[in-house]
């Protein structure tokens, strides 16, 4: 199958490699550009655990501290794998969404042992801080990157859509799905979606795709790359 990959460039290239290994053709067209924020080293004294809701949060964290000894709790396997790649030693993941991460924190941490540091981008879904505050935790949020949306449909995506050269498109977040929907509609290419599958990592992402006339919109059985790629079967 010819599959459009819309996630930010670094992650998109990793997904493209997996698609090729599975026998598919990957067309990379990032809809978000990641810009990391510079700043002083993060203050980690008194932090009992770091919460990461994205792989880019982990990348931003690694840029702002040399420490790798604090427990890192990630929302999913991809973020956890990124943490391992950067040398973090105590890494666990919730294999799910923000609610699953809250459950993981409650299972592994206690409020009296110190604050939690949530590393994230400027736009996030799921109010983890409030949910954990209700359970007695103190959560400090550090915004370490911005995900800047494309202002026009990337050429590879536009050419593949207009030329009927796509079988499916992958969407790893509600925001990416929303940006795609907006740009495709503005470019007049919405009718071309009738020939392809829209594959979403979550129901929230799928909801952003439904205004477009996809041949079908499918949602991964669980929030993760492996489950999303399994929809191609």
The residue from 147, 181, 202 where one domain ends is: 147
The residue from 82, 116, 147 where one domain ends is: 147
The residue from 147, 178, 203 where one domain ends is: 147
pLDDT at 165: 94
CA 74, 78, 4, 200 torsion: positive or negative? negative
Tell me: do 54 and 102 sit in the same domain.
yes
CATH code, domain carrying 201: 3.40.50.10090
Tell me: do 116 and 176 sit in the same domain.
no
Q: Is the pLDDT of residue 98 over 90?
A: no
Q: How does DSSP classify residue 67?
A: -
Closest alpha carbon to 201 in 221, 178, 180: 221
Helix (H, G, I), strand (E, B) or coil at 52: strand
What separation in angstroms does the CA of 159 have from each of 20, 27, 96, 167, 216? 20, 10, 34, 13, 21
The percent of residues in the chain predicted with pLDDT above 70, rounded, is 99
Tell me: do 61 and 143 sit in the same domain.
yes
User: How many structural domains compose the chain?
Assistant: 2
Are residues 203 and 171 in contact, defined by beta-carbon separation less than 8 angstroms?
no
Tell me: do 142 and 189 sit in the same domain.
no
Tell me: do 201 and 215 sit in the same domain.
yes
Q: What is the pLDDT of residues 109-151, one digit of tens each?
A: 999 999 999 999 998 776 899 999 999 999 999 999 999 999 9
**pTM to 2 decimals?**
0.90
Expressed as residue numbers, the domain containing 163 is 2-31+150-230
pLDDT at 233: 86
Closest alpha carbon to 189 in 173, 172, 166, 207: 166
């Amino acid at each position: 199958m010819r599959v459009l990959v819309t996630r930010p460039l670094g992650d998109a290239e990793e997904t493209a490699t997996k698609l090729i290994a599975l026998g598919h053709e990957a067309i990379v067209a990032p809809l978000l550009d990641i810009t990391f924020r510079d700043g002083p080293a993060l203050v980690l004294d008194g932090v009992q655990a770091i919460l990461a809701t994205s792989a880019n949060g982990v990348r931003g964290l690694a840029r702002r501290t040399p420490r790798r000894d604090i427990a890192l709790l990630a929302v999913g396997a991809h973020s956890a794998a990124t943490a391992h790649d950067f040398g973090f030693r105590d890494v666990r993941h919730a294999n799910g969404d923000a609610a699953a991460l809250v459950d993981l924190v409650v299972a592994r941490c206690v409020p009296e042992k110190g604050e939690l540091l949530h590393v994230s981008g400027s736009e996030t879904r799921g109010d983890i801080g409030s949910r954990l505050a209700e359970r007695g935790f103190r959560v400090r949020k550090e915004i370490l990157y911005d995900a800047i949306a494309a202002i026009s449909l990337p050429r590879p995506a536009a050419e593949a859509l207009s030329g009927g050269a796509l079988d499916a498109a992958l969407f790893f977040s509600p925001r990416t799905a929303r940006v795609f929907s907006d740009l495709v509609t503005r470019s007049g290419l919405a009718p071309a979606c009738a020939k392809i599958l829209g594959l979403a990592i979550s129901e929230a992402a799928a909801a952003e795709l439904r205004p477009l006339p996809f041949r079908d919109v499918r949602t991964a059985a669980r929030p993760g790359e492996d489950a999303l790629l399994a929809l191609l079967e």
